[in-house]
Copies of this chain bind each other. A is one copy, B any other.
Amino acid sequence: MSRLERVETGLGEECGVFGAYDIDGHDVASSVYYGLFALQHRGQESCGIAVTDTCGKRKVLFKKDLGLVNEVLDEESLTNLKGNLGVGHVRYSTAGGSRAENAQPLVINYVKGTLAIAHNGNLTNAVELRKELEYTGAIFQTTIDSEVIAYHIARERLKTGKAEDAVKNAMHKIKGAYALVVSSPRKMIGARDPFGLKPLCIGKRDNVYFLASESCAIAAVGGEVIRDVLPGEIVTFTKDGIQSDTTMALKPEKQARCIFEYIYFARMDSVIDGVNVYHSRIVAGKALAESYPVQADLVVGVPDSGLVAAKGYSEYSGIPYGMAFHKNSYVGRTFIKPKQSQRESSVKIKLSVIEEVVRGKRIVMVDDSIVRGTTCANIIKMLKKAGAKEVHVRISSPPFLFPCYFGTDVPSNEQLIAHSHTTEEIREMIGADSLGYMKVEKLKDMVGDLKYCDACFTGNYPMDVPGEDISHAFE
């Protein structure tokens, strides 16, 4: 399914963070731009870059707004963003509505100068923390919970001599999921929540250090990945190199990476915590083939995210892999959606079936998830109209049954077809000849020894969670 489809149906994406620090003092805005570009799939609502000149006046310059990276930032803004320490962010609104004010990085002035903060993830105790802060006289100008983090860092900074320690102390207060990139006047700091729910990795190119949500962004700027930031680790980059503080780290068996990064969020060319995303999707496809074998002539994936799992299904089952769909690459954000009454459907305009490929064939169609079921039903209808004899649907994730409190915007229960229907009912509703969901117990094969969070499928949350949805609590 295309990401645009996803946005419509409501399975929300995350955010992406990127940092660059050139210890030789050269401008980094352009590297941050290309880094964000490679992370654009993690958030298309707003974006921004903040830079500091660590050698000069340490004034923070920034540009952020609603829009895609290439809409918000142009040649002129990059030229004006002079500084050798930069922080960037792409945002999909998980918490905090769609407003320019909520664009990140958040740039704050406090007693020790200016900080820029880019945050991916959601806090589970944001409501309490915010209320607490308000009772000590805090005011809030956005609806993003990143502002809560900023306050805590600023307040801790008053008590400690180092920015990285302020970050650590703040981490004692905040709970939930976060990958942070912070620029203090002379340092770049990265931090990851103790569970490792959100990814963050370190890269290097000559004398430039990078932090990025995914390794693909390091590659895009011509850098090499050094390693991932550990769950609970704080890494600090100064002109003297990298320092690490792992006192907040949990034992590996307590960690809980978001499994959905591997299933859908991350780019297939990224490697997260040592696990190749492409590989993990191949494994998922193989697991589907093992769990739900079927007599068929062709395995096809729904672009883009179903393609790799389809390849895995094909490899395990021996059924040939094929390209059944053409995806229109010009369907952008401002595309006019057809009205109900029109004969043209959204799916038809985005995807078309290559008849030559599917005619007369028994098809295994692999996709990464089913949200409301309507898109899936339309695609099956298109395949059948093009002459497919059978369409067997395989979904590379288990059914969504529980809310995510960590930043994945799963629609509310009423909209989730799996919430109120059995698999057989869903199969019938979408018009598939058979339907198989990834088994929960097979997820572990995707990520080797890594511990992960699968709470959206199982309800087994790695920490206490609020009783209700807090993602729009401040609006």
Contacts and interface: CB of A to CB of B under 8 A. Distances in A.
B338 A141 contact: no
Interface stretch (A28-36, A178-186, A194-202): A28-36
Given A30-B342, A110-B139, A70 B335 contact: yes
Q: Count this chain's copies in the assembly.
A: 4
Interface of A: 3, 30-31, 33-34, 37-38, 40-41, 44, 59, 68-71, 73-75, 78, 100, 106-111, 131, 134-141, 143, 150-151, 154-155, 158, 205, 216, 219-222, 267-269, 271, 276, 278-279, 304, 307-308, 311, 321-323, 326, 328-332, 334-336, 338, 342-345, 348-349, 352-357, 474-475
A356 B279 contact: yes
28 contacts: A30-B336, A30-B342, A31-B343, A37-B330, A38-B328, A38-B352, A40-B328, A40-B330, A41-B329, A59-B475, A69-B330, A70-B334, A74-B334, A75-B336, A108-B140, A109-B134, A109-B140, A136-B136, A138-B138, A205-B343, A216-B352, A219-B348, A222-B344, A267-B326, A269-B354, A276-B355, A278-B357, A308-B323
Contact of A344 (B74, B221, B474): B221
Nearest to A107: B141
Given A109-B139, A137-B138, A278-B354, A33 B222 contact: no
Given A136-B137, A321-B321, A474-B109, A338 B131 contact: no
A349 B335 CA distance: 24
Contact of A220 (B68, B100, B348, B354): B348
A338 B308 CA distance: 30
Contacts of A356: 276, 278-279
A108 B278 contact: no
B269 A220 contact: no
A474 B114 CA distance: 10
B475 A352 contact: no
Contact of A141 (B31, B40, B141): B141
Contacts of A304: 329
Contacts of A474: 109
Q: Is the interface of A mostly helix, strand, loop or mixed?
A: mixed
A322 B356 CA distance: 20
A153 to B, nearest CB: 9
Interface centre among A68, A100, A279, A344 (most CB of B within 10 A): A344
A137 B155 contact: yes
A69 B331 CA distance: 10
A78 B107 CA distance: 29
A34 B330 CA distance: 11
Contacts of A59: 475
A155 B133 CA distance: 11
Contacts of A276: 355-356
B269 A326 contact: yes
A353 B269 contact: yes
Contacts of A344: 30-31, 34, 220-222
Task: Kindly name the residue among A33, A73, A219, A308 whose own CB sees the greatest number of chain B CB atoms within 10 A.
Answer: A219
Contact of A326 (B155, B216, B323): B216
Given A40-B328, A267-B352, 5 more contacts: A31-B343, A70-B330, A70-B334, A216-B326, A279-B356
